Amino acid sequence: MIVSGTRVDGYSLLVYGRIYRSMKQIILVLLAIITVISLIVTTFTIDQVGREDQRLKSDLQYRSTLLAESLKETVEPNFINKSEDYLQNVVERFTDTERFAGLGIYDNKGKAIAISSVIPEATSAAQEVIANAMDADKANGDFAKFQDKKVYLLAVPLHDEKSVVGALMIVQNAGYIDSRLTEIWKNNLVRLLVQASLLSFAVLLLIRWIIYKPIKSLVKTLRLARSGDLKQDSKKLKNSFLFGPLVSEVTNIRRSLIEARSTAAEEARMRLEKLDSPWTSQRLKEFIKDTLKNRSIFMVSNREPYIHTKNGGKIEFYIPASGPVTALEPVMQATAGMWIAHGSGDADRLVVDSSNKIKVPPDEPKYTLKRIWLTSEEENGYYYGFSNEGLWPLCHIAHNRPTFRKEDWEQYKKVNQKFADSILSEIKDLERPIVLIQDYQLALVPRMIKAQKPSATVGLFWHIPWPNPESFSICPWKKEILDGMLGADLLGFHTQLHCNNFIETVGRELEALIDLEQFMVTRNNHISFVKPFPISIAFPNGPGQNINYKLEGEKALKNLGIKTKYIGLGIDRLDYTKGILERLKAIEIFLTKYPSYKTNFTFIQISPPSRTKIKKMREFAQEVEKEVERINSLFKMKGWKPIVFLEKYHTHEEIQKFYKLANFCLVTSLHDGMNLVAKEYAAARDDEKGVLILSQYTGASKELKDAIIVNPYNGEQTSEAIKEALEMKEPEQKKRMRDLRETIKDYNVYRWSAELLKTMVGLG
């Protein structure tokens, strides 16, 4: 959106959207007022015009009658004496004055004896008026048109001593009547426009000064208090005679928010040294203040946390379905730093400023998002090509052959340099900035940054698994990737196994000094520490949103046509590493072995499409759809089918209702860095019910010991786990779920980020 020649950020966009909606409401009010006024004015004008029309016509008829009677005394004797020349002179004398159009004298057969030259031969209307006057032997008048001019015709009979011998017709101009009526309409319309304009202006002023400005001030006060920016709003709120009670109440709310925030900050400071106290966003903020000492933080990733898109004439945003985004968003909100990422939305360019930056979240800005633009060639080679057809299958060892192309590698290097240049432009004047790079798409960036800015503390967190050295060795550019990664001061992985694999890979492929006790690698006089940091989620510590998830879940099931007692749930991107086909096979085995669950059990698989430009991903999605159709056709009966497949994106709120109603959640990744779905399911179950079935090949399985751990390749084992989950007694469910929740609560994303940042700060 462009406003007055300036690009607006996301928050401004939201504000403009709200102002636009408010203006629409104000305009509707004004239109309603103007409509009422218009109806009143129109009704009044119709009445005024009617009365004026009647008055003018009566006046014209009266004057015409007086004139006719006066002329009749002169014309009648001469008509009887057949003095035609005299009569014609009389007629010509009264011709074409301002309102008197002409005069005509006719015999008893309607033939003109004398007539004004401006009046043509009598029209049918005139003939009728003349005939009626002679037949009735009295004056007769009517309105008609002569030469497209409105006139009034009045005929009076002429007599001899015995009978009617002719008629005298007077023609009066009547056009002025219509002109007068038109003038009334115009004058009243002008008055209406003036009144409407003045009234609209008065209403707008009233709304602005008496309603809008006080409410805007109240909203600003609450927003600043909520975001913690209290110093900017130190002035007392101005009282309003209309909103006096509301102002008073908002002032009290603001004071309470300030006190609550101050108390929370104090409690967070007190918790810093208590290892057993829960980590919250407020505690993380206090930890950052205490630990970072105002050092700037920069998060760098390929995927951006907010994507802006066009929807008709509006610009909307959504949060992408991404594990790293889910984990890192709370961190950035707590640290108020800068997130640098690829701008992929079709409206992303419309909402950034001249530096390609935007404040996010859009509804309550807390940090800055800087977007990097890629050409389609760069995106295809760097992201879809080398990153996701090469490194992704290579690291996941998911029985899909990696594809390595020289042109993709060139684009990968080019885009990594583009990211590095953008970061360097932001940190060039900063002392000891902290740069935290995310994932396999940006493996070369650490070395690029460190080479230009040695004082920067650079971390790289690898969100996917690191394979064994034999698997990684097939990559044609393995040495370049490892060297790029070792530019970081800290390399983080989810598990110790991934750290071990990385250290072994470096030992085989590069000339470097490895210290297995400290888990550090020294290369070209630069030390890189390699440590595990199992990522987590923002565990809900307080009361959640006021949403009846049970009711919402029941509505969702009804909309999906599900009436069964038992519900199983799977939530994954349509990715071949997630074990979706293996999961479906296990459900088939389960229903075959335990037919009593037919018509009584439904498995819901929610899978948003993933990387659809990659052929293997498209083929995998088609394969999943076919497998769902095959299993459903195998077991369906009486309107029931065992699997409901939802191939679309769901918001966090929409997924929550499925988490809360599912008897079990099935996570069967064939190889996964962590898998946050497993943790989200446990965090959502505040009723301490439900069972988590978890693949042994996920990083989460190393922490979540109270899940039912399965080998996803063993369909028989997974089917038995499903039966165990559905038949597990409630006390055992609660014990397991309570322990799972305690594990996640104890090590949530705030603690993860605190430990990661504390380690980085300790390095320089």
pLDDT of residue 755: 92
Which percentage of the chain shows pLDDT scores above 90?
A: 49
DSSP string, 427-473: HTT-SS-EEEEESGGGTTHHHHHHHH-TTSEEEEE--S----HHHHT
Distance CA 720, CA 743 (A): 25
8 A C-beta contact, residue 537 and residue 510: no
Domains of the chain: 80-173 (3.30.450.20), 287-373+432-532 (3.40.50.2000), 549-747 (3.40.50.2000)
Instruction: Please name the helix (run of DSSP H) or strand (run of DSSP E) that holds residue 89, with its range, or none.
Output: helix 84-93
Q: What is the CA radius of gyration of the chain?
A: 44
Q: What is the mean pLDDT of the chain?
A: 85
Distance CA 106, CA 127 (A): 10
Q: Is 722 exposed, middle or buried (0-12, 13-18, 19+ CB in 10 A)?
A: buried
- Of residues 184 and 740, more confidence is placed in 740
pLDDT of residue 246: 60
Average the pLDDT over 566-591 and give the result. Answer: 95
Q: Classify 530 as helix, strand or coil.
A: strand
- Return the C-alpha torsion angle 448, 450, 452, 455, nearest 10: 160
Confidence of residue 159 (pLDDT cuts 50, 70, 90): confident
pLDDT greater than 80 at residue 19? no
Distance CA 212, CA 205 (A): 9
Residue ranges of alpha helices (H) inside 207-243 are 213-227
Query: How distant, in Å, are the alpha carbons of 74, 84, 115 from that of 157?
Result: 13, 17, 16
Of 26-30, 418-422, 614-618, 641-645, minimum mean pLDDT range: 26-30
Distance CA 368, CA 423 (A): 13
DSSP string, 384-420: IIIIIIIIHHHHHT-S------HHHHHHHHHHHHHHH
Average the pLDDT over 38-53 and give the result. Answer: 87
Strand 457-461 relative to strand 434-438, pairing: parallel
- Output the 3-class SS for 692-734: EEEECCCHHHHCCCCCEEECCCCHHHHHHHHHHHHHCCHHHHH
pLDDT greater than 60 at residue 13? no
Laid out side by side, the sheet with 566-571 consists of 643-646, 601-606, 566-571, 664-667, 691-695, 708-710
Q: CB neighbours of 200 closer than 8 A, spacing ≥ 6? A: 30, 33, 34
Query: How distant, in Å, are the alpha carbons of 44, 57, 193 from that of 188?
Result: 9, 21, 9
Confidence of residue 240 (pLDDT cuts 50, 70, 90): low
**Which tokens is 560 given?**
């999906």
pLDDT of residue 166: 87
Which percentage of the chain shows pLDDT scores above 70?
A: 85
Distance CA 535, CA 461 (A): 10
Phi and psi at residue 165, in whole multiples of 5°?
Answer: -115, -5
Nearest to 458 by CA among 444, 478, 472: 444
- Of residues 169 and 667, more confidence is placed in 667
pLDDT greater than 60 at residue 644? yes
Positive/negative CA dihedral, 678, 684, 686, 688 = negative
Distance CA 480, CA 443 (A): 9
Largest Cα span, the chain: 147
Average the pLDDT over 496-512 and give the result. Answer: 96
Distance CA 574, CA 624 (A): 8
| Tens digit of each residue's pLDDT (9 = 90 or more) over 675-720 | 999 999 999 999 999 999 999 999 999 999 999 999 999 999 999 9
Of 64-78, 294-308, 442-456, minimum mean pLDDT range: 64-78
| Tens digit of each residue's pLDDT (9 = 90 or more) over 172-229 | 888 888 888 888 889 888 888 888 788 778 777 777 776 666 667 766 666 665 555 5
pLDDT of residue 718: 97
pLDDT of residue 522: 96
Strand 297-300 relative to strand 434-438, pairing: parallel
Strand 149-159 relative to strand 566-571, pairing: unpaired
Distance CA 517, CA 514 (A): 9
Q: Is the peptide bond before 361 cis (omega within 30 degrees of 0)?
A: yes
pLDDT of residue 221: 65
8 A C-beta contact, residue 340 and residue 423: yes
Residue with structure tokens 């990522």?
535
Q: CB neighbours of 73 closer than 8 A, spacing ≥ 6? A: none
pLDDT greater than 70 at residue 232? no
Instruction: Please name the helix (run of DSSP H) or strand (run of DSSP E) that holds residue 305, with its range, or none.
Output: none
**Which tokens is 378 given?**
């760069």
Distance CA 132, CA 137 (A): 8
pLDDT of residue 652: 83
Confidence of residue 623 (pLDDT cuts 50, 70, 90): very high
| Tens digit of each residue's pLDDT (9 = 90 or more) over 371-394 | 999 999 999 999 999 999 999 999
**Which tokens is 748 given?**
């949530």
Phi and psi at residue 499, in whole multiples of 5°?
Answer: -65, -45
pLDDT greater than 70 at residue 243? no
Query: For the stretch 243-270, what's the b/e string if a residue is b when 16 or more beta carbons lie within 10 angstroms of its beta carbon?
Result: beeebeebeeebeebeeebeebbeebee
Out of 125-129, 273-277, 654-658, give the one with best mean pLDDT: 654-658
Distance CA 324, CA 334 (A): 16
Query: For the stretch 651-671, what's the b/e string if a residue is b when 16 or more beta carbons lie within 10 angstroms of its beta carbon?
Result: eeeebbbbbbbbbbbbbbbbb
Of 72-76, 214-218, 403-407, minimum mean pLDDT range: 214-218
pLDDT of residue 266: 53
- Of residues 45 and 601, more confidence is placed in 601
Query: How distant, in Å, are the alpha carbons of 398, 579, 586, 631, 720 from that of 713?
Result: 11, 8, 9, 18, 13
**Helix (H) and strand (E) counts in the chain:** 24, 25
8 A C-beta contact, residue 511 and residue 483: no
